[in-house]
Amino acid sequence: MAAVQPMVGSAEGGVVSVAAPSAVFVGLGANLGDREATLRSALQAMAQLPGTRVERVSPLYGSAPVDAGGPDYLNAVAALATTLTPQALLQALQAIEQSAGRERPYRNAPRTLDLDILWFGDQVIHTPTLTVPHPRMAERAFVLRPLADLVPERVDAACLQAVASQGIYLLAGTGWAEGVAGDCF
Ligand code: A4P
Ligand code: MG
């Protein structure tokens, strides 16, 4: 039987935190503004969330827009450990997107910052506001490549091969996020 975890309530009465941290992978993307500075600020903001550590950050990639227009993206993936619940983390990530000036004129519009929850521990979530694993991650080199840098054993070689034709290029090793993540690299 699964252990029952102590929970912490929010001012609104919802559960926002549990005792044991979950391993979470967050996809970061930006194709407007000072993209690298925005991604670094986002990592710093994630590291300051309650009960949250940024454990590792992937290398930084440039990528041509997939199913979208506009300038090339910068993309990366961060591995977090957090005691926040999935919904509380989603809300916190959306607040970080907003503070980076995110606008949503239409689906897949160019954006200053996009933060997507890829995996949240081994949870499978289907709510009106949150789907985990992220439903489009397996189709996207800009997610799979940096994810494979962090956890190669969890990214299927055939899936990587299937997206190999998508335009993606390495821009910087893990040093681009120096000072934000823990000491894993
Ligand atoms: N939502 C549901 N599940 C999740 C989740 N796992 N993580 C909901 C985050 N949000 C999730 O997202 C719309 C709604 O999805 C949210 O309100 C949340 O409740 P959004 O970021 O506001 O809008 P969006 O951009 O239209 O959706 P999304 O899911 O971010 O788009 P995609 O599918 O991720 O595509 N090409 C390159 N090269 N690099 C990119 O980063 N990104 C996209 C965005 C398209 N093409 C790209 C890139
Ligand atoms: Mg998003």
Per-residue pLDDT of the chain (185 residues; tens, 9 = 90+): 444 555 666 555 578 988 899 999 999 999 999 999 999 999 999 999 999 999 999 999 999 999 888 999 999 999 999 999 999 999 999 999 999 989 889 988 889 999 999 999 999 999 999 999 999 999 999 999 999 999 999 999 999 999 999 989 999 998 999 888 654 33
Residue at 3 is within a domain: no
Residue at 13 is within a domain: no
Residue at 2 is within a domain: no
- At how many degrees (to 10) do helices 35-47 and 86-99 cross? 140
Domain range for 105: 18-184
Yes or no: say if 79 and 129 are a contact pair by the CB < 8 Å rule.
Answer: no
Element (H, E) at 94: helix 86-99
Please state whether 15 falls in left (phi above 0), alpha (psi between -120 and 50) or beta.
beta
Q: What is the CATH number of the domain that holds 129?
A: 3.30.70.560
How far is ligand 1, taken at its centre, from the CA of residue 114, in Å?
7
The response to whether residue 129 sits with its C-beta less than 6 Å from ligand 1 reads: yes
Residue at 68 is within a domain: yes
End-to-end CA distance of the chain: 36
Residue at 10 is within a domain: no
34-43: string of b/e by CB count within 10 Å (b at 16+)? ebbebbbbbb
Tally of domains in the chain: 1
Yes or no: say if 113 and 124 are a contact pair by the CB < 8 Å rule.
Answer: no
How far is ligand 2, taken at its centre, from the CA of residue 156, in Å?
23
pTM: 0.92
Residue at 7 is within a domain: no
The response to whether residue 108 sits with its C-beta less than 6 Å from ligand 1 reads: yes
Q: Which two tokens stand for residue 26?
A: 């967050």
Residue 133: other Cβ atoms inside 10 A: 16
Among the bound ligands, name the one nearest to the CA of residue 93.
Answer: 1
Yes or no: say if 44 and 180 are a contact pair by the CB < 8 Å rule.
Answer: yes
Residue at 168 is within a domain: yes
Residue at 1 is within a domain: no
